Structures are given as C-alpha cells and as structure tokens.
Amino acid sequence: MKKIENKTLIKIALAVLGVYLLIHYWTNISGAVVTLFSAATPLLFGFVISYPLNILMNFYERHWFPKSKKKIAEKSRRPVCLIGSILTIIGIIALIGVLIAPQLVNCIKLLVAEVPAAINVVVEKLKTIDFISKDLINTISSIDWKSRINDIIDTVTSGLGSAMDVAVTAVTSIFSVVANVVLGIIFAVYLLLDKNRLMGQVRKVSEKYIPERWLSKITHVLGVVNDSFRRFIVGQCTEAVILGTLCTIGMAILRLPYAAMIGALVAFTALIPIVGAFIGAGVGAFLILMESPMKALIFLIFIVVLQQLEGNLIYPKVVGSSIGLPGIWVLAAVTVGGGVMGIWGLLIGVPVAAAVYRLVREDVNRKPEEPTEEIQQPAAEQTNS
C-alpha cells in the first residue's frame, strides 16, 4: 500500500478546515463577498465598458498612420484613438436620444390627449351589450376622464416633489450611480492606455504561479471566449445598423410616421438577439396606432416582411456565421440566458454559448493519441485519412 506523504495530509486537513469554516461562517462570508462586489462596482463597470471601447480603439489604431515611423504618430496613436472611441460612443447615444426622445414625448402627449375620447368610444360600445349593468355604464360615462388623468399626473408629480425622504433617496441614488459611472470611465481610460503593460504583468504572474499545462488551457479558453464576444459585438452592431437603416428607408417609402425615431428604436433594440427587433416593432406599432390604425397595420405587415428578410439573410450572414453558432443554439441561448439573468442574459447568452460550443467541438474533434507503436498507421495512410 502506497504511503501518504505529510504534505498530502496537510493539504487534506486544510481543505477540510476550509470547508468547515465556509459552512459555519457562510452568512458572514456571503455578506463580505456582497460588500466586496459592491465596493468594486466602479472597477467592474470599467472592465465592461472598456471591452467595446477596446474594439473601436483597435479599429482606429489600424488606420491612424499605420505605416508611419515618426515618434509623434506612435505616441499619439493610443490616446487619439481612445478619444475617438469615446466620442464615437457618445455620438451614437446622443444621436439615438435626439431621434427618439422628442417624438416619444409628443406621442405620450398625444396618448394622454386621446385616452378620454377612446374611453368614451368604449363606453358607447358597452351600451350595446345587454349583460352589462346600465348603472355601471352610466357611472363610467359620467366620469370626466380628462380631468381624472390630469389629477393623477398632478398627484404623482406633487407627491414626489413634496416628499423629502423620497427626494433625498433619489438624489443619493443618482449621485451614487453617477459617481460609479465616472469612476468606471476613469478606470477604463487608464486600463486602455496602459493595456500592453498590464497584459505583460498578468502574463508574468500567471507563468510564475500557474503550472504550464494549466496555463496553456486557460489561455486557450480565454482566447476563445474573447474571440466569441468580439465577433458577436461587431456582428450584432453591424446587423442592428443594417436593420435600422432598412426600417427607416422602408417607412419613408411607405410614408409612415415617425420613420427616423422607429428606425433608431428598432436598431437599438436589435442589439438584443432574436427578440430585440420585435420589441422595437411592438413599440413602433403602438405609437403609429395613436395616429392611424391603418398605417399601424401597414407597418406591422412591413416589419414582418423585414423580419423575415433579417432572420433568413442578414442575421445568418452577419452574426451567425461570424460566431459559428447554429440557429437552434442561438435561440436556446437567448431563452435560457433571459430566463436566468434577465436582460444581461439576453445580451451575453449567445457569445457564451458560442464559446462553449466551439470548445466542445474542438474537444470532440480532437484525435486521440495512439497508445502504442504497433497500432500506429503508416504515414501515407494518416495523410490520406
């Protein structure tokens, strides 16, 4: 029987002690972990926003005097490209806000103005139904709905404005969010400006403390995950721009209202795979319905045709082929990710599933090593196979 070394016994004892402490002090440990994550929120936010910024930054760096050997070009490449990436993101957000916000406010005003008339129409229809009580109909018809709606709006706004505790809580929350966003952006800027040196430091520490056989596997997995996320983000943004542009052009040709706003809304929601464009189309149809039911019907027919074009031609070519994930697994990733993590699951479910699919496919297709020399095939046979 093989003798167990003292080092092995010490490792087993420490593992058992660790499990005991984890179970016994689980409440304190979980609270400490939550506190740590809460304190590290700006850093996590910085990591998140630095990833898409880095994709844009790499694109700009490939086009900022790529063949120039002058020191001014080399030194200015990274800060100039980083500033360009940040301005690009801000410009896209501002453009979406300018296109959507004003018309959305007008639609809300129109909706508030039209609700009383719509309720009166419904009441007149209810009068023709025999099994509904006439007293109930008379009570509903006697209500001044326009005044009631205005009273509700005034009550909500005045109540929020007069409640000091609600105001303090809101201001505190807003300040906390703004502070986290500002710190996250600052951290992302430092991270991107010094990314080469940081990657070198991480590589040295990993080579020092992680065994070589594990380090190669970890590096490969992280590379696959990074490639899947990069391909997904680029493909999804490209697909969203194409879909929003086609939606705007089609609505302009059909003379439908709110073409620019709904096109921008469809493009923005199309960043969510599979279901995002339907969300934007539903909101757009509701807004058009306030102006003309017939135009809303025309829009729905148009958006169904556009969705078929997008689902069968654009998405498979732009996104599906880039991430290498079959359509059935894209749908499964969106469904499971949305059910587990909500909106974040919808966004990251597809690239995570693509990375897992790629790693499993590599492992399944990897040829097993030949155990002995006697059963090895000749070189010619191996080449033919």
Q: Please tell me whether the overall predicted TM-score, pTM, comes out greater than 0.95 for this model.
A: no
Instruction: Calculate the CA dihedral of residues 234, 237, 243, 249 and round it to 10 degrees.
Output: -110
What distance in Å separates the CA atoms of residue 293 and residue 278, rounded to the nearest whole number? 19
Angle between helices 145-162 and 71-127 (to 10 degrees): 140
Q: Specify whether the CB–CB gap between 94 and 126 falls below 8 A.
A: no
Q: Which of 46, 52, 142, 45 is nearest to 89 (CA)?
A: 52
**CA distances in angstroms from 193 to 56, 76, 198, 293, 316, listed in the order given:** 14, 11, 10, 53, 35
What b/e sequence results for 316-325 when a residue is b if at least 16 CB atoms lie within 10 Å of its CB, and e otherwise?
eebbbebbeb
For tokens 């709904």, name the residue. Answer: 262
Give the per-residue pLDDT at 111: 64
Q: What is the pLDDT along the chain (385 residues), one digit of tens a residue?
A: 455 567 777 878 888 888 888 888 888 878 888 888 878 888 888 888 888 889 888 888 888 877 777 778 778 888 888 898 889 988 888 887 887 777 767 766 666 666 666 666 666 665 666 555 556 556 666 666 556 666 665 655 555 444 445 455 655 667 777 778 888 888 888 888 888 888 888 889 988 888 888 888 888 888 888 888 888 888 888 888 888 889 999 999 999 888 888 888 888 888 877 677 778 888 888 888 877 888 889 998 998 888 888 777 766 666 666 667 776 777 788 788 878 887 778 778 888 888 888 888 888 887 765 444 444 444 444 434 3
Q: Residue 253: its pLDDT value, please? A: 92
Q: Give the whole-angstrom CA distance, residue 108 versus residue 59.
A: 40
* pLDDT score of 249: 92
Question: Residue 146's Cα: distance from chain center in Å?
Answer: 39
Asked if residues 230 and 352 have their Cβ atoms less than 8 Å apart, the reply is no
Nearest partner of 338 among 330, 327, 349, 329, judged by Cα: 349
CA distance 177 to 159: 24
Q: Which residue, 271, 360, 301, is CA-closest to 284?
A: 301
pLDDT at 200: 87
Closest CA to 85 of 240, 230, 225, 192: 192
Domain layout of the chain by residue ranges:
7-39, 210-364
- A 10 A CB-CB count for 146 gives 14
Task: For 154-172, write each residue's pLDDT tens digit.
Answer: 655 555 444 445 455 655 6
- Residue type (1 letter), 265: L
- pLDDT digits 0-9 by tens, 251-282: 999 998 888 888 888 888 888 776 777 788 88
SS3 percent helix, strand, coil of the chain, rounded to 5, is 85, 0, 15
